[in-house]
Structure 1
Amino acid sequence: MQTKNLFYSVILGVLPFLMNAQDYKLQFQNDICDCMVQKAEENKMGKNPMLLYQLCFQEKLPTYVPNIDAEITATEQREIYAEGQRIREELKFSFYSELIGTCDFYYQEVEATRETNFSTLKKIGENSDYYNLVNQALAMQPTASNYVKRGQVYFGKENFLKAKADLSKALTINENERGAKILLAWTYEKMNKYASAIELLETLDDQKRNQEIQLLIAIQQRKMGGKLPIVKPSTTPSDVPSKAPEKKDDLKKLFKLD
């Protein structure tokens, strides 16, 4: 009986540690979220979600160093340091997008930033002179770049069906047009076709290494009703041009597609 009681005592003593080891990443994210809310209320760094994230990740990291160290499997000092750095960088990378699903403040501020950028595109859509120039350029040179420019205008006009048509045409002409893919994914999002947006974003060859693309995927997942597992499609969606390697670029192409 004493042996049995000792066994249960050991299990009960170890169980909280095991649970903490599994739960610390979510708690880490919650702490970052609370930190961002607090600093925004104190008007530190404004409400820029990216700057707040960087600041709060660094501020809350020391609390979780023991959890990170517990994950290290290396035995030699140099390898221990390298593995610890890798874990830290992976956390910083993954939390950037995962917070979309766990932190309402972060999600709302990211969306507010995107809506500001959408307002800029709306102004482009309202410029009839620019629209006429783009149409003339497209009539003379029906290139992928010119289809993207007109698709951008239609997007700004909130004519998402015409934007989808022009951006899809651009990708038919040039499968490497990264900006067209990102803007087309945003078009799908505006049309509430979140699964199509995710599939298209996943065709970007660097999507697993690109924080901004992972952020966009996480936004689609949240709008679908929660954080869902991402399954890389074996074929491209029927209404999306086939994938091909793209040139590396940053998310600025969302707003400047030249």
Structure 2
Amino acid sequence: MKNISIITTLIISIHISYSQAYKTAFRAEMCDCLTTESLKRPLSENTYKTCFRETLPKFANQIDALIIEEDLNQKYLLGQIARRDLIVEIQPELVYTCTTYFEYLERGKLSKKLIAQESINESALEAQNQYVAMSPNAYAYFSRAQLHYNLGNLAESEADIRKSLEVNPNSANPKSTRNELLLLALIYEENQQYEKAIAIYDQVYMGVYDSGTAILRALADKKNGGTISNIPKFSEDKLSSVNSNSRRNGRASRSGKNKEAGQQDAKAKARNEKNRSKKKSDTSALKKLFKIDN
């Protein structure tokens, strides 16, 4: 049993190392593509998606090689999941490893702020002051905080956010105050208080597919001198865990071979139907994420 455990650990370590190796090459290819495109035209979200589509086929075999699964339907599903995870996981990693991508995201943040500044004036602040005086609730304070932030009044904006959190009965729940906390994190970044901003991003992070928060965290950490090793390891062993579960399921299936043939056929049929359904669902989700037409 001990030898089996050692061998299993070794296999998992090899797979993780192989995964890290291909992702390093994948990031380099993505960065080269983005840098080349930036010389032709300003980068955009569509440019990023185009580079991803061009890069992914070069690494498809390496992605699939990490999946230990005999059942072809299940292997396909796990491959789709791995590709979907790669879409969201690679973005914060590129913040650290690709200067072109980092600068593109920073320009985007600045552009949004400048556009917001152009659409407001001091008279809007007067109206917001009246609103707070008439209805001093959490939303009123948060609205004025946004206005102050766009006007560049960072101290006033922070004070209003704290007041909004103070009067909000759900202030203990980060999900209920997500917008307020994200604005506070941006204020901390403006004041170069990056560690405070990072702490907030960790607080409001909603899971592996919350790529927006993961990117904001990476940007703040990068400006604070951080490296790619600072990315939280929320799902580093995900593939290894999935492969382990698949092997356990396979052993359980083999141990039940002495059951009646009719029961096996019924279960196999149900499993195939479920796999086909999952395949359609995962493929649809992947297309939706990339906005690929059927």
Other-structure match for 1:143: 137
2: distance between equivalents of 1:231 and 1:21? 14
Other-structure match for 2:286: none
2: distance between equivalents of 1:213 and 1:226? 16
Other-structure match for 1:107: 102
The reply to whether residue 130 of structure 1 matches residue 88 of structure 2 is: no
Other-structure match for 1:193: 193
Question: How many percent of aligned residue pairs carry the same amino acid?
Answer: 27
2: distance between equivalents of 1:59 and 1:34? 12
2: distance between equivalents of 1:193 and 1:63? 40
Superposition pairs of residues 47-126 of structure 1, within 5 angstroms: 47-48=43-44, 50-124=45-119
Verify the 8 A CA contact 1:147 1:169 in the aligned structure 2: yes
Change (3 A) 1:72 1:18: closer
* CA offset digits 1:204-257 (Å, max 9, x no partner): 25254311111101111101102224499xxxxxxxxxxxxxxxxxxxxxxxxx
SS at match of 2:204: coil
- Say which is worse superposed, 188-197 or 173-182, in terms of deviation: 173-182
Count of matched residue pairs: 212
Verify the 8 A CA contact 1:150 1:163 in the aligned structure 2: yes
SS at match of 1:172: helix
Other-structure match for 2:237: none
Amino acid at match of 1:47: L
Which structure 1 segments of 5+ residues have no match?
1-16, 233-258
- How far 1:122 sits from its partner (Å)? 2.6
2: distance between equivalents of 1:207 and 1:19? 24
Verify the 8 A CA contact 2:88 2:208 in the aligned structure 1: no
Amino acid at match of 2:226: G
Other-structure match for 2:28: 30
Verify the 8 A CA contact 1:124 1:130 in the aligned structure 2: no
* CA offset digits 1:172-193 (Å, max 9, x no partner): 2232132212111111111111
SS at match of 1:203: helix
- Say which is worse superposed, 28-37 or 163-172, in terms of deviation: 163-172
2: distance between equivalents of 1:106 and 1:59? 17
Change (3 A) 1:140 1:218: same
Superposition pairs of residues 159-174 of structure 1, within 5 angstroms: 159-174=153-168
Which structure 2 segments of 5+ residues have no match?
1-14, 235-294
2: distance between equivalents of 1:160 and 1:226? 25
SS at match of 1:226: coil
Other-structure match for 1:246: none
Other-structure match for 1:181: 181
Superposition pairs of residues 178-257 of structure 1, within 5 angstroms: 178-204=178-204, 206-227=206-227, 228-230=230-232
- How far 1:42 sits from its partner (Å)? 2.9
- How far 1:139 sits from its partner (Å)? 0.5
2: distance between equivalents of 1:67 and 1:27? 11
Higher helix share: 2
